[in-house]
Chain A
């Protein structure tokens, strides 16, 4: 899957010193995993990989370099590139310092779903093909193993890139996604569902730390003055944290699902920001991370905005 081209491109950029650093993926310490890696010398580019398990959103790894002067290249799937667009839009980086190697994304496979359907899995049993894989003597389509956010993904292609490796892909955008499944329930059922989910939260803040757009120096969840919530993971404070986080992401969330994949309790935590994005898309026709010019929806207004809910 274009691994060689990616390595070659990264090597070339580092050799001519067009960039000081390449952020990419390398194989993880466990099978069916890829982890982020930082490559700064041309020899090390051989460790870069690109497969169906490259799930972390690499825009997150740009943030520690915000105040340095390094030029950085990063591999960007559709959602990573959208996150970079939001970061550029919010003036976290000048455009010249970022080199985006765009990768049209085939979708990320969930290891959990593989295990659920195939039982115990070993890396050597798999042989990968373009749109599926062979395992246990059978051919499988990848579609039924995709992460929930990838099933509903409408932008597999990066909206902004300096180099594009691979062919552009059709958007998947399944109409029956997990957000709609929840939305079709009654209000009371939804509350039951969220109480069950959120009471499991241990407030480790892994979701916040995995999010490419949660970059406040001091998070409201940990601020002492004012002290919004306590550190104890009670249901009310967990709800407060996740509601507050999704409001902070309003009009910014790029729907990458990094928060959900980071959750050690496997809580469907991405649903709240996704819902906020849906509200904003329906009412203000805005989607985050698609353009460098468009005004953020909560930093602008129209005189005929919906106002029926106000007396």
Chain B
């Protein structure tokens, strides 16, 4: 039973680059594991750290956030702000003892279909190593 387990990974992809990169991977028929569930966001800077925590709370085994390379943001600087926010969140999660490989970040441009598939492969591999998420996952209650 345990061998059948496949991680569920929520991927927040920037509309202007990584989402198009994922699209390119699709139309170029590049294979990547089917474990990610894509959510399109206008910019990686629009990803509230609470979205990441919420995804983990709702039972995602991992979270991937992907945006434009530094300097290439459609809104000029959204990804720079994102980088600071994610850095703080990443360090805090690690300090608390929540596996930091569950939350991953990448820069993928619209022309990097190949890189997108690699990023997904790596992410899935790392999350698989960690096993199903235990920490932060909501408990069953009668009220919710």
Binding site for B on A (CB under 8 A): 183, 187-192, 194, 220, 226, 228-232, 234-237, 239-240, 243-244, 246-247, 250, 272, 275-276, 279-280, 283-284, 297-299, 301-303, 305-307, 309-311
Contact = CB atoms under 8 A, between A and B. Distances in A.
Contacts of B16: none
Contacts of A229: 57
A229 B144 CA distance: 9
A311 B11 CA distance: 14
15 contacts: A187-B97, A188-B97, A191-B96, A236-B138, A243-B53, A246-B92, A247-B88, A272-B96, A279-B92, A301-B77, A301-B80, A303-B80, A306-B83, A309-B86, A309-B105
B84 interface: yes
A272 B50 CA distance: 15
B19 interface: no
A117 B77 CA distance: 54
Contact of A191 (B71, B90, B97, B139): B97
A142 B67 CA distance: 52
Q: How large is the interface on B (under 10, 10 to 19, 20 to 34, 35 or more residues)?
A: 35 or more
A236 B135 CA distance: 7
Given A188-B97, A194-B96, A232-B141, A280 B88 contact: yes
A164 B143 CA distance: 53
A307 B94 CA distance: 16
A303 B73 CA distance: 13
Given A232-B144, A234-B139, A247 B105 contact: no
Nearest to B50: A244
A284 B88 CA distance: 10
A187 B90 CA distance: 14
Contacts of B86: 309-310
Contacts of A235: 139
B136 interface: yes
Contacts of B90: 309
B119 interface: yes
B113 to A, nearest CB: 15
